[in-house]
Amino acid sequence: MFSTKAIWIKLCFKESTIDATTLLMLRMLISLPFYLIILLYLRKRNVQQLKKSHYLWAIAMGTLGYYLSSLFDFIGLQYVSAGIERIILFIYPTLAVLINFWIFKVAITKKQWLAIGITYIGIAIAYWGEFSHLPDTSNFIFGSVMVLLCGITYAFYLVGTGKLVPVMGSSLYTSIAMLAASLGIFSHYLARAIYSNDFISAINYQIPANILWYVIGLALIATVIPSFLLSSGMKRIGSNDLAIITSIGPVSTLFQANYILNEPLLWQQALGTAFVIAGVVLVQKFGVNKTNPEHPNYPSPKG
């Protein structure tokens, strides 16, 4: 579901003159009621006492991982294809694993290194294939840098999520993080409107009828539902294995972009896709890493 995000965004850019900030605002405006309802429901039922720091960290992770990360991504998608965007974004699993290793001392097994290496070879091949076919690479490079920044900020979100979800619960954490991200996005949108002396038009903005369903799909199919699925999955297997398994995303986006957006599927992309699939299969074959302290079956100090 997350891999459909770039498709919805590219369709909106193709069918209208909407800009990245406005589209990002609409995405969160439609998503916001769902997160708010779930948060209110969970707050009434939640009997666990959480520290103030837990909420502050959840707010920080949401701001970093869904406000800044999404902003970089939406800007980048104006200059790169949907397929290559998802491939560049796959920098975040490796970063997440390394952040876990460097900061939290979470061990990286040889099998995980092998899976990462195979998938990364595939990503490099696919990226080189598209880059070598472009007559003008200046905008492409700028878009690539923006998407890369998206991947870096999302990696920190992924690691932070892996630490907070076991304590707060996946649904409560996701709701708080997404509400914080929404606040950041709305503030950015209004600040830009005030700066450009276009405040009245900004608050009276109406979604163009021809992209209405694309925006709804972006908000629900590519945002609300997968955000809860991601947090729930991470609670069960930890951020390291989740990050590697989500490498199926670039594969999914490549084929969707080819079928829906008519983006060419180059032989380098096909070869890179094969490597990515091989890496995912290896991760599934190896199973969950029980040396990961985030995993519920990790041995306790007593046993």
Out of 98-107, 158-167, 173-182, give the one with best mean pLDDT. 173-182
Over residues 108-121, the pLDDT tens digits come to 788 878 877 887 88
52, containing H or E segment = helix 52-62
Task: List Cα–Cα distances, 6 to 60, 73, 76, 256, in angstroms.
Answer: 25, 9, 10, 10
Residue 195 has pLDDT above 90, yes or no: no
Rounded to whole angstroms, how far apart are CA atoms 238 and 246? 12
Over residues 44-89, the pLDDT tens digits come to 665 457 788 888 999 999 998 889 999 999 999 999 888 888 878 7
Residue 188 has pLDDT above 90, yes or no: yes
- Candidates 231, 242, 216, 10; CA nearest to 106 is 242
* pLDDT at residue 234 in the model: 76
Rounded to whole angstroms, how far apart are CA atoms 142 and 225? 30
More confident residue, 162 or 244: 162
Rg (CA), the chain: 19
DSSP secondary structure letters along 63-110: IIIIIIHHHHHHHHTTTS-HHHHHHHHTHHHHHHHHHHHHHH-----H
Model pTM score: 0.78
Residue 138 has pLDDT above 70, yes or no: yes
